Amino acid sequence: MKFAQYDEVKLIKIINQKVMTKKGWGYRDPEVGDIATIIEIYSNPEVAYHLECNDENGATAWDLMVIPDDIELKTT
């Protein structure tokens, strides 16, 4: 599936848990069911997504970069 910058996506599967527990910004690790925004899409040397998930108060719950092999996303 192709995504665009600023798409809102739902995290539906974590394939590589090790990547998801590397602390980026925020106060917790990503969880299945989280809604995040694609801040940036990189293509070199491979496709990667910079994702940010905010809580109901607007605080950053988590913010990190992942490759498609590490996660499964769908648009909301």
For residue range 40-73, list pLDDT tens digits in order: 999 999 999 999 999 999 999 999 999 999 999 9
The Cα–Cα gap between 39 and 64 comes to 10
Four-point Cα dihedral 9, 38, 49, 35, nearest 10: -40
pTM for this structure? 0.90
Residue 74 pairs in a beta bridge with 10
